[in-house]
Structure 1
Amino acid sequence: MPDYVLGVPRYANSAPLYHFLEEGNGIVFRYGVPTELNRWLLEGSVDLSLVSSYFYLANAERLRPLPDFSIADLGPVYSVNLFHTRPWQALRRIALTTESATSVRLLQYLLESDSLSPEYTREQGGLELLERYDGVLLIGDRAITTYAGLLQHIPESVHQVPRQFTGPQGSPLWVSDLSMRWYERTRLPFVFAVWATRRSEPPPPEVVRRLRAARSLGLGNLAAVAGTEAQRLGVPERLMQHYLWNFRYHLEAPDRLGLETFARAVGLAYPGDYWDV
């Protein structure tokens, strides 16, 4: 039997799902950013993958998700951020991450809902792009490390987390958390990713069992996962712990409703069917 290939984004927020899942015994990992994982799943070079929610919805006739896995958030997510030097209502030119279609579509939806239509350009880079753009959308590890680099100290309370900083030459720098803006608009979680396979290839029950066991260990030992990820990214461990405990990993009823609401918001169908495993 060939190895069963899992597509995994090497992002801190997905680490609790696979930190305690060992390769071997028929399972191997293939790491990539969401746009790569999406493509590999359709091509067939990975068998089961964490895929971005927008990609899943746009390809629902070819994909089917596991029933109880997600990377979702209710409120601020801290790693899907628009960093901008002009107020939200004044944005005109935005550089977009090349790593994820979901975050890009979410940003576009939020701006369209406020009757804004800035010019978008796909660019790789960080805050240096603000020399040419009003805003830059960053996600995942790049977003959380960029945000951590702006903090003068780690706040003691989640209610003290700053959203405005002093940028270059003393100019203001805003950080708009897209998940928080989604929550303020809908009062629902936002689902960023799901585990999915091709519709013609149901997941082996033993693989799903191992994924569930790994998730239980990851969430039960979140401090250990946070310590590993904080060291990997060079950010304070306390910040990483706060970051990870914000996520929702079980695709519960509120998350499914959030996913359905996002589908309607961007003009896509919500199939609502999942593997029975």
Structure 2
Amino acid sequence: MSKLSAGHRSGQSDTQVSTEHAKLRIGQIKFTNALPICHFIDRSDPMHEFWPGAPSELNSWLADGTIDAGLVSAFAYAQLADDFVALRGLSVSSRGPVGSIFLFSKRPIEELSGCTVALTSHSASSTNLARILLGEIGVRDVNYVTQEPDLPSMLDGAEAAVLIADHALHWSVQDHGLQMYDLGEEWHTRTGHSMTFAVCAVPRRLVEQDPEKARGIHRLFLEGKRKGLGDLEAVIAEATRMMGQTEDFWRSYFSKLIYDLHEELAVGADAYFDAAYRHGLLTKPVKLELWGDES
């Protein structure tokens, strides 16, 4: 791990990290893919304030200081990497199919040059992954439009659409006649790497100025994950309540996801960040910086 830099970073306001006696505002992804981490998180501490949201909302809140830390898109972390570190042991990742991030297409993916592709407004990591993959396979001159995540509306004026999380899960089991591409699987097949979609980010300033408070956030999420993976039946029951489908459906779905974050997964995340920079989606090279331990 590189030495954490001290001092003020890239215009980050003095109020962006809570003071010692203020509530910590903690973001968490509100979709089923994060349930194994978030369902059992202890919300009893009066000094913690939880902000559930879609990844795109959490990304904006993290960037503007509305939240202090939380589970956010890996791409958002990459954009803010000067100011944040990622907590070890916490992510939403896959090594192959992810099961809830799909490109739905009226034609084969290789034939989308010159077409319009609609991207969900709820994502950063996955929509940029779609741009990378299409670029890598030689699809050119794509007109990307960002829309609310409703597949029929998205496809009114587009040849393909990217959906994530619960919206993707819903449409993945419908009889729509579209070709479906799992973007986690496409990434792994083409690069051999894992793909990290979300990480738990905390400010460098908090780590430097109040490491015990940072460790408290770390323990909070790690304990949530420990309980979630230790009682997956309860997680499955909550997913079923939220979305329907069968217990077997959710058991298969959660088995595809990885909720750890360590050096091996960081290699895949760095490969994604490198590709994003190469395709002009990030303004500078970025490496994932892990902080803390899992004890």
Q: Same fold judged by TM-score > 0.5? A: yes
C-alpha distance in 1 between matches for 2:288 and 2:62: 20
Corresponding residue SS for 1:69: strand
Matching of residue 124 in structure 1 with residue 140 in structure 2: no
SS of residue matched to 1:270: coil
Aligned to 1:15: 35
Deviation at 1:130, TM superposition (A): 2.1
Q: Indicate yes or no: 2:117 matched with 1:102.
A: no
* Contact preservation (8 Å) 1:41, 1:198: no
TM-score by length of 2: 0.82
Q: Residue 126 of structure 1 contacts residue 136 of structure 1 at CA under 8 Å; is this kept in 2?
A: no
Structure 1: stretches of 5+ with no match in the other structure:
151-166
**Residue-by-residue CA offset, 1:72-116 (whole Å, 9 max, x unaligned):** 001111111011111111221111111112111100110111111
After alignment, is 263-272 or 119-128 more displaced? 263-272
- Which whole-Å CA distance do the structure 2 matches of 1:31 and 1:21 have between them? 12
* SS in structure 2 of the partner of residue 30 of structure 1: strand
Give the alignment of 1:210-229 within 5 angstroms: 210-229=220-239
Please show how residues 235-246 of structure 1 align to structure 2 within 5 Å. Answer: 235-246=245-256
3-state secondary structure, aligned to 2:77: helix
Deviations 1:194-217 (A, max 9, x none): 000222122532332232122111
Match of 1:143 among 155, 163, 168: 168
Query: 1: distance between equivalents of 2:149 and 2:38?
Result: 28
- After TM superposition, the runs of 4+ consecutive aligned structure 1 residues lying more than 6 A away are none
Structure 1 CA distance for aligned equivalents of residues 217 and 124 of structure 2:
27
Instruction: Give the aligned partner of residue 10 of structure 2.
Output: none
Match of 1:112 in 2: 135
1:48 maps onto 2:69 in alignment:
yes
Picking from 84, 88, 107, the partner of 1:86 is: 107
Corresponding letter in the other structure for 1:261? A
Q: How far does residue 238 in structure 1 lie from its aligned partner after superposition? A: 1.5
How far 1:241 moved relative to its partner? 1.6
Matches within 5 A, 1:158-173: 167=176, 172-173=177-178
Q: Return closer, same or farther for 1:244/1:260 CA change in 2, 3 Å cut-off.
A: same
Q: Is the 8 A contact 2:95 2:184 kept in 1?
A: yes
How far is the alpha carbon of 1:132 from its aligned partner? 2.2
Is residue 2:292 matched to residue 1:276?
Answer: yes
Q: CA deviation at 1:137?
A: 0.6
Question: Equivalent residue for 2:267?
Answer: 257
* Alignment match, 1:6: 26
Q: CA deviation at 1:225?
A: 0.1
User: Unmatched 5+ residue regions in structure 2?
Assistant: 1-20, 208-212, 278-283
Contact 1:145 1:235 survives alignment (8 Å): no
Q: One-letter code of the match for 1:192?
A: F
Residue 240 (structure 2) pairs with residue 230 (structure 1): yes
Question: What is the correspondence of 1:46-85 to structure 2 with a 5 Å cutoff?
Answer: 46-85=67-106
Taking the aligned partners of 2:147 and 2:63, their CA distance within structure 1 comes to 25
